[in-house]
């Protein structure tokens, strides 16, 4: 299972969370990674944790003030990037451009989508993985695997029908080890989560709970 912790813009210490993710990663067979804000990528990567960006833009070097260049993300130590998170939505053509930009920079990609239909469209763009995240469940503590398990199963089927090499992750409301196990039982190969770790009083304990049943 792949567990990707998105720190969003939460007021947490990104290095402290990164240290926790790294330490738990060393004690489990699961694969753990963290996605800090762009300004924190380098110092998070320096902890030795697998580091992901939250976004890259569909651009090349040039006149692109205020954008995030995939090569800069990679130079800062990131090995992958989220694309089209529900809080950073893109048009389909821009999702494609961002995937291509990430590939150009050697970054792994996870494209987020709201429902199985969008998952199919995202999988057709050839990312490494897609993640189904119903936006109404994000941050609620109610996992999609519990609220509507059919969404996860249908997303897995939709991706497989387009490209069986594209992995499917499950997001929104993931906060416990049981949530991670349920996602796996429904066919997901990983989970995205944020507040369950980033806003926890003890991020390491929260992570240990997440991976303990795996």
Question: Is 138 annotated to bind ligand?
Answer: yes
Of the residues 85, 108, 157, 189, which is catalytic?
Answer: 85
**pLDDT tens by residue, 130-173:** 999 877 766 666 777 777 788 899 999 999 999 999 999 998 77
What is 2-211's CATH number?
A: 3.20.20.70
Question: Does residue 87 carry a catalytic annotation?
Answer: no
- Over residues 37-58, the pLDDT tens digits come to 999 999 999 999 999 999 999 9
What pTM does this model have? Answer: 0.94
Determine if residue 91 is labeled as part of a ligand binding site.
Answer: no
**Annotated catalytic residue within 55, 67, 133, 165:** 133
* Bridge partners, residue 52, by sequence: 80
Task: Judge whether 8 is annotated as a binding position.
Answer: yes
Instruction: State residue 18's pLDDT score.
Output: 98
Q: Mention every residue, 6+ apart, whose C-beta is less than 8 A from residue 66.
A: none
Residue-wise DSSP of 131-153: EE--GGGTTSS--HHHH-HHHHH
pLDDT at 42: 98
Residue 133 among the catalytic residues = yes
The domain segmentation of the chain, as residue ranges, is 2-211
CA distance 159 to 166: 7
Q: Is 188 annotated as a binding residue?
A: no
Work out the angle at residue 138's Cα, subtended by the Cα atoms of residues 135 and 143, and round it to the nearest 5 degrees. Answer: 110
pLDDT of residue 172: 77
């Amino acid at each position: 299972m792949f567990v990707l912790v998105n720190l969003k813009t939460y007021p947490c210490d990104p290095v402290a969370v990164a240290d926790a993710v790294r330490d738990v990663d060393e004690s489990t067979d699961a694969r753990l990674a963290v996605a800090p804000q762009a300004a924190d990528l380098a110092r998070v990567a320096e902890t030795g944790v697998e580091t992901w960006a939250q976004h890259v833009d569909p651009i090349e070097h040039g006149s692109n003030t205020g954008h995030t260049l995939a090569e800069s993300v990679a130079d800062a130590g990131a090995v992958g990037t989220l694309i089209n998170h529900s809080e950073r939505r893109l048009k389909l053509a821009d999702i494609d451009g961002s995937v291509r930009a990430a590939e150009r920079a050697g970054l792994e990609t996870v494209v987020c989508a709201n429902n199985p239909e969008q998952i199919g469209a995202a999988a057709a763009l050839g990312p490494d993985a897609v993640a189904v995240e119903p936006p109404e469940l994000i941050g609620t503590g109610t996992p999609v695997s519990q609220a509507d398990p059919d969404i996860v199963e249908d997303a897995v089927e939709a991706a497989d029908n387009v490209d069986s090499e594209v992995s499917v992750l499950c997001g929104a409301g993931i906060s416990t080890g049981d949530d991670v196990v349920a996602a796996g039982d429904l066919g997901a190969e990983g989970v995205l989560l944020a507040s369950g770790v980033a806003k926890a009083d003890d991020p390491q304990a929260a992570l240990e709970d997440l991976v303990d049943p795996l």
